[in-house]
Amino acid sequence: MDETRHRIRERAEQALKLLLSLTVTFMGLLAVTFFIGRVVPIDPVLAAVGDRASAESYAQARRELGLDRPLYQQFLIYASKALRGDFGKSVLTSNAVIDDIKRVFPATFELATLAALLGVLVGVPAGVAAAAKKGSWVDHGIRFVGLLGYSVPIFWLGLMGLLVFYAKLGIVAGPGRSDVLFEGLVPTVTGALLLDSALAGQWEAFRDAFAHIILPASILGVFSMAYISRMTRSFMLEQLQAEYVNTARIKGLSERTVVWRHALGNAWVPLVTVIALSYGNLLEGSILTEVVFAWPGLGSYITNSLMSADMNAVLGGTVMVGIVFIALNFITDILYKRLDPRAR
Amino acid sequence: MEASKTTLGAWLSSAAPESPWQAWCGDAWRSWLLFRRNPLAMAGLAIMLALVVLAAIGPLIAPADPLAQSLGLRLSPPGANGYILGSDELGRDILSRLLYGARISLSIVLMVAVAVAPVGLAIGTIAGYFGGPVDTVLMRITDIFLSFPRLVLALALASALGPGIENAVIAIAITAWPPYARIARAETISIRNSDFIAASRLQGASPLRIIATQVAPLCASSVIVRVTLDMAGIMLTAAGLGFLGLGAQPPSPEWGAMVAAGRRFVFDQWWVAAMPGLAICAVSLGFNFLGDGLRDVLDPKSGS
């Protein structure tokens, strides 16, 4: 009885600690974006009223924006608004920033998810093969390609991909998310065009969406492939040195079973966290990829707003990416504890 | 000659060094022998040396002024009209621009490294040495910065500060220090209870003095190694900012900005965007090879 009570209390304490650290991190995120918003050399009042406003309307706008209050009050107002999802209005689109983000986020999500899938499907087998044939030319080759993937500037790779596969070979579609022909034809359910068109049974639109997404997703996937294959290799090397692998070999199991079932089975646990973290990096990589491919996602939204000094939109987008990052870290932590019996 | 070589070798590989200096040299020598066996690492070293040399003597060997325009010869393909790597939309020689741009890229990477390593070192050693609430607060701040994707934060910062190389450096530096603080903290915690620290405490040294004279020098090497590993990332972030128009401003021959300028012509005059991109690729590959080799040498567990 006392035992269970003790455990419940321990669990509750853990949960509370986690919640507290999440809150602190989130407030820190807001504090950083608030600070960035304050050091902007552009006058936020001018941005709102325009430079031909009278002194009175300028002062009024300043009061309405809360800029005449002390800094800490401004931060509290900013934070409480942000918690309610209010990041102000975008000057560029004149919509609420949160609505804009809701509109563009699915495109980024779709792109990053496909890229992550490609990264896992190629990266994990490559890493396993490299570890199993350690020191061979397979290993060196995979390692070389991995380092190459780390070193290529993604925006340049995207341009070259467009040049070769779109302009010269013509096997993929050009920039953008779909042809004008299919615009607005597919009812929005999930926001991911591939899923939506498949759900609606519009295979023409699906093929078009696929032709558009495959190149940016592959380019974006190169980086996560490099990262995942490298981490897989190092986890696998660790496992392959373990005693149980020797035991399995001595038992007479085939090398394939030993490597792919026994060793990879154990390497999966840390690998899941690596994959989750690489997903966060994909969001980041997608910014430059989206710019190159005119992909109408969060990255394009942030950079377009940036060009027109639309700080509300830039900071709102930044907070959004930060939230996804924090959430991913959180999920990774929980996953790790679930999957690894030692961490329970 | 041969004899002096063997004595030098014997001095370096001596199992019983007579001075700290000899021990240090011997360590470095053994690391170098390991490093030399790694072909990728040697390739990286060669690329880096080539880059430094090219950046240093670039103005001497550049065939043209990087800013000299000749509109009549604009967008010449590589090899035509005396342009080895072609000319850009204003008829400027791409090769010369790349050579001058090497200086910009190198100096950005160096400036970020110089700005970031001491900050990370200071925060990490202070957090690790004092522990308790100081540690909690500093590490919370570190975690907050780590929870930001680097490029996004650098983007927001660079756009707030306004475009330009200095601001790009500041933006990258502010996003790059947390990992170094983590490393320095871990090292500090592992040595803070050592006898030699206790000894200097008993001699009456203040905590800050101990951190500066005893702890920080010991943590510096791992921080420096980590900076080397990160240089490719710094370089790519800088190029990304340049590509988005937030780094160096035209007509500066920064490589990322050059790719951005060539973007309009990529389908017809591919070389304008391709050449600077290849340069970025080569250099960051060099940094990565070098870093990978260093990691193998210094941490044999992770290597091949």
Q: What is the pTM of this model?
A: 0.84
**Model confidence pLDDT, tens digit, residues B60-111:** 877 777 777 777 777 777 877 777 777 777 778 878 888 888 888 889 989 9
Using CB atoms, pick whichever of A135, A156, A306 lies closest to residue B159: A306
B276 prior amide bond cis, ω within 30:
no
In this structure, the dihedral spanned by the alpha carbons of residues A80, A35, A153 and B114, taken in order and rounded to 10 degrees, is: -150
pLDDT at A270: 82
Express as a percent the part of chain A with pLDDT over 90: 9
Measured distance CA(B137)–CA(A219) in Å, rounded: 39
Using CB atoms, pick whichever of A147, A288, A291 lies closest to residue B292: A147
- Range with the poorest average pLDDT among A41-45, A161-165, A215-219: A41-45
Using CB atoms, pick whichever of B151, B160, B267 lies closest to residue A163: B267
Min Cα distance B70 → chain A (Å) is 26
HSE value, Cβ hemisphere, 13 Å, CA-based, for B53: 7
Query: Are A28 and B140 within 8 A, CB to CB?
Result: yes
Query: Are B232 and A306 within 8 A, CB to CB?
Result: no
- DSSP SS3 for A89: strand
User: Quick one: B206 exposed, middle or buried, by C-beta within 10 A (0-12, 13-18, 19+)?
Assistant: exposed
Query: Does A221 score more than 80 pLDDT?
Result: yes
**Model confidence pLDDT, tens digit, residues B117-157:** 889 999 999 998 988 899 888 988 888 888 777 788 888 88
Using CB atoms, pick whichever of B147, B157, B292 lies closest to residue A325: B147
Using CB atoms, pick whichever of B244, B281, B304 lies closest to residue A139: B304
Task: Kindly indicate the confidence band of residue A39, based on its pLDDT and cuts at 50, 70 and 90.
Answer: low
Min Cα distance B302 → chain A (Å) is 7
Q: Which CATH number goes with the domain that contains B60?
A: 1.10.3720.10
Task: Kindly indicate the confidence band of residue B302, based on its pLDDT and cuts at 50, 70 and 90.
Answer: very low
Task: Kindly indicate the confidence band of residue A41, based on its pLDDT and cuts at 50, 70 and 90.
Answer: low
Task: Kindly indicate the confidence band of residue A1, based on its pLDDT and cuts at 50, 70 and 90.
Answer: low
**Model confidence pLDDT, tens digit, residues A84-100:** 888 888 877 888 888 88
- DSSP SS3 for A1: coil
β-partners of residue B93 are B87
Overall average pLDDT of the B241-260 stretch: 86
Using CB atoms, pick whichever of A24, A151, A303 lies closest to residue B288: A151
Instruction: Please identify among residues 74-133 of chain A the ones whose CB lies closer than 8 Å to any CB of chain B.
Output: none
Query: Does A33 score more than 80 pLDDT?
Result: yes
Query: Does A201 score more than 80 pLDDT?
Result: no
Min Cα distance B132 → chain A (Å) is 16
Residues in chain B closer than 8 A to A284 (CB atoms): 149-152
Query: Are B273 and A156 within 8 A, CB to CB?
Result: yes
Provide the residue range defining the domain that includes B152.
51-298
Residues in chain A closer than 8 A to B153 (CB atoms): 32, 318
Min Cα distance A143 → chain B (Å) is 10
Using CB atoms, pick whichever of B147, B160, B288 lies closest to residue A36: B160
Nearest CA in chain B to A43: B160
Overall average pLDDT of the A162-173 stretch: 84
Residues in chain A closer than 8 A to B157 (CB atoms): 36
Query: Are A147 and B285 within 8 A, CB to CB?
Result: yes
**Model confidence pLDDT, tens digit, residues B40-67:** 788 888 988 888 888 888 788 777 777 7
Query: Are B147 and A155 within 8 A, CB to CB?
Result: no
Overall average pLDDT of the B271-294 stretch: 87
Query: Are A159 and B273 within 8 A, CB to CB?
Result: yes
Tell me the DSSP string of A291-321. HHHT--SHHHHHHHHHHTT-HHHHHHHHHHH
Q: Does A329 touch chain B (CB under 8 A)?
A: yes
Take residue A78 and report the two structure tokens written for it: 């900013």
pLDDT at B6: 61
pLDDT at B299: 63
Residues in chain B closer than 8 A to A41 (CB atoms): 160-162
User: Quick one: A9 exposed, middle or buried, by C-beta within 10 A (0-12, 13-18, 19+)?
Assistant: exposed
Using CB atoms, pick whichever of B243, B270, B287 lies closest to residue A155: B243
Tell me the DSSP string of A226-291. HHHHHHHHHHHHHHHTSHHHHHHHHTT--HHIIIIIIIHHHHHHHHHHHHHHHHHHHHHHHHHHHH
For chains A and B, CB pairs below 8 A equal 150
ipTM rounded to 2 decimals = 0.83
Residues in chain B closer than 8 A to A157 (CB atoms): 277
Query: Does B303 score more than 50 pLDDT?
Result: no
Take residue A111 and report the two structure tokens written for it: 């792109």
Min Cα distance A306 → chain B (Å) is 6
- Range with the poorest average pLDDT among A127-136, A180-189, A286-295, A333-342: A180-189
Residues in chain B closer than 8 A to A290 (CB atoms): none
Residues in chain B closer than 8 A to A314 (CB atoms): 155-156, 159
Residues in chain A closer than 8 A to B155 (CB atoms): 287, 302-303, 306, 314, 318
- What's the Cα-to-Cα distance from A23 to each of A93, A314, B238, rounded to whole Å? 31, 22, 32
CB A164 within 8 A of CB B266: no
Express as a percent the part of chain B with pLDDT over 90: 5
Overall average pLDDT of the A259-269 stretch: 81
Average pLDDT, chain A: 83
pLDDT at B54: 86
Query: Does A181 score more than 80 pLDDT?
Result: no
Query: Are A151 and B160 within 8 A, CB to CB?
Result: no
Residues in chain B closer than 8 A to A135 (CB atoms): 304
- Range with the poorest average pLDDT among A43-47, A115-119, B1-5: B1-5
Min Cα distance B20 → chain A (Å) is 35
pLDDT at B2: 47
Task: Kindly indicate the confidence band of residue B280, based on its pLDDT and cuts at 50, 70 and 90.
Answer: very high
Backbone angles phi, psi at A89, to 5 degrees: -100, 145
pLDDT at A230: 87
Instruction: Please identify among residues 193-252 of chain A the ones whose CB lies closer than 8 Å to any CB of chain B.
Output: 234
Query: Are A24 and B140 within 8 A, CB to CB?
Result: yes
Measured distance CA(A196)–CA(B228) in Å, rounded: 45
Min Cα distance B280 → chain A (Å) is 7
Query: Are B148 and A167 within 8 A, CB to CB?
Result: no
Query: Does A121 score more than 90 pLDDT?
Result: yes
pLDDT at A117: 92
CATH 1.10.3720.10 residue ranges for chain A: 97-343
List the CATH code of the domain at A97-343: 1.10.3720.10
> Is residue B43, in this structure, part of any structural domain at all?
no
Min Cα distance A311 → chain B (Å) is 8
- Number of domains observed in the structure of chain B: 1
